[in-house]
């Protein structure tokens, strides 16, 4: 696996990250555990999770599946899964095989899950409680990155929130602080507090990604891209992956890789030398297309 360096973290990290948003919801504990084992065997040591993922189950499943293996974990604070009634959990696990047999049902369950996620009111206490529970579920003493999860713009300006995050870093519970939301939110936060220096956001189809990654590098920050397969142009999946790695050659590209074939394809793309020229060409074409309307 091609690796890169994350300042403040003692080990090199894999250029491909494993996204756990579906772990415990679309993907059962058993299938998820097997997928995590495959990812570890392929050399992936960057795992992206959040308290809200997998209907609130993802962190605990990931913690159990890692079984003490030391990896870089990104977790988040700011969104949480609404408490599900036991009967709803049972109904969901019974429905899983039906949903996977009828892919059109997946969009419906996805939108139902989005409604079951609520915003955690942020203050120093709620932030400390949230990371404390995350560390417990993940069975680790610290994580590589704690990111504000889709923060409200006003939270990026709150002194008490920002100070609480800095304290966690000072205490050694988290190595780096980030924003998992939009590029603009990251810039606003990094302008106010340079210690917020990890930017996680969706790759954009607008042809601006290269410029965004350039700005992150100028700020000496670290970039994580997701949404690789959501980009309409280019629509060829292999090319989408090569575009993402070419656009973010010194950072992490995150994908959901629960299916063995997907994992193999994503690992193969991560192992190629990032093609920055290809990414620049795709972006330039995409900009000219949007200029033409």
Q: Name the residues that contact ligand NAP, by CB under 6 A.
A: 19-21, 48, 150, 180-181, 200, 226-230, 237, 254-259, 262, 265-266
CA dihedral 214, 53, 241, 16 (to 10 degrees): 80
The CB-of-132 to ligand NAP minimum distance in angstroms stands at 20
Strands 72-77 and 13-14, by their bridges, are: unpaired
The CB-of-38 to ligand NAP minimum distance in angstroms stands at 11
CA dihedral 19, 147, 78, 32 (to 10 degrees): 20
The CB-of-51 to ligand NAP minimum distance in angstroms stands at 12
Phi-psi region of 192 (alpha: psi -120 to 50; beta: other; left: phi over 0): alpha
Q: CA torsion sign, 15 to 262 to 43 to 139?
A: positive
- Residue whose CB is less far from ligand NAP, 132 or 260: 260
Quickly count: other Cβ atoms within 10 Å of residue 67's Cβ: 11
How many residues in total does the chain contain?
Answer: 293
The CB-of-238 to ligand NAP minimum distance in angstroms stands at 8
- Residue whose CB is less far from ligand NAP, 147 or 161: 147
The CB-of-259 to ligand NAP minimum distance in angstroms stands at 4
- Residue whose CB is less far from ligand NAP, 106 or 170: 106
- Residue whose CB is less far from ligand NAP, 46 or 286: 46
Q: Buried b vs exposed e over 243-273: b needs ≥16 C-beta within 10 Å?
A: bbbbbbbebbbbbbbbeeeebebbbebbeee
- Residue whose CB is less far from ligand NAP, 90 or 247: 247
The CB-of-11 to ligand NAP minimum distance in angstroms stands at 20
Q: Which residue is nearest to ligand NAP (CB)?
A: 19
CA distance 266 to 51: 25
The CB-of-49 to ligand NAP minimum distance in angstroms stands at 7
Q: Which residues pair with 73 in a beta bridge?
A: 47
In what helix (H) or strand (E) does residue 179 lie, and over which residues does it extend? strand 174-180
Inter-residue contact 78 to 120 (CB < 8 Å): yes
- Residue whose CB is less far from ligand NAP, 266 or 286: 266
- Residue whose CB is less far from ligand NAP, 103 or 293: 103
């Amino acid at each position: 696996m091609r690796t890169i360096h994350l300042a403040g973290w003692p080990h090199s990290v894999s250029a491909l990250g494993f996204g756990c948003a579906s772990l415990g919801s679309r993907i059962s504990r058993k299938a998820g555990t097997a997928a995590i084992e495959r990812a570890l065997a392929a050399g992936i040591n960057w795992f992206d999770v959040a308290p809200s993922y997998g209907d609130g189950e993802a962190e605990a499943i990931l913690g159990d599946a890692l079984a003490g293996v030391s990896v870089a974990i990104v977790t988040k604070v700011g969104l949480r899964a609404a408490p599900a009634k036991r009967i709803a959990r049972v109904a969901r696990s019974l429905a899983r095989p039906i949903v996977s047999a009828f892919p059109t049902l997946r969009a419906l369950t996805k939108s139902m899950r989005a409604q079951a996620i609520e915003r955690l009111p942020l203050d120093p206490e709620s932030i400390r409680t949230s990371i404390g529970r995350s560390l417990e579920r993940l069975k680790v003493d610290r994580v590589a990155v704690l990111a504000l999860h889709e923060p409200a713009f006003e939270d990026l300006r709150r002194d008490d929130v920002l100070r609480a995050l800095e304290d966690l870093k000072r205490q050694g519970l988290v190595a780096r602080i980030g924003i998992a939301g939009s590029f603009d939110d990251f810039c606003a936060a990094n302008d106010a507090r340079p210690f917020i220096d990890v930017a996680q956001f969706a790759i954009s189809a607008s042809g601006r990604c290269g410029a965004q990654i350039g700005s992150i590098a100028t700020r000496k920050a670290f970039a994580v891209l997701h949404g690789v397969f959501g980009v309409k142009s280019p629509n060829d999946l292999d090319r989408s992956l090569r575009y993402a790695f070419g656009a973010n050659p010194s950072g992490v590209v995150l994908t959901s890789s629960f299916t063995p074939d997907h994992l193999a394809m994503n690992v193969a793309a991560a192992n190629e030398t990032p093609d920055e020229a290809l990414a620049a060409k795709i972006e330039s074409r995409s900009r000219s297309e949007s200029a033409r309307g």
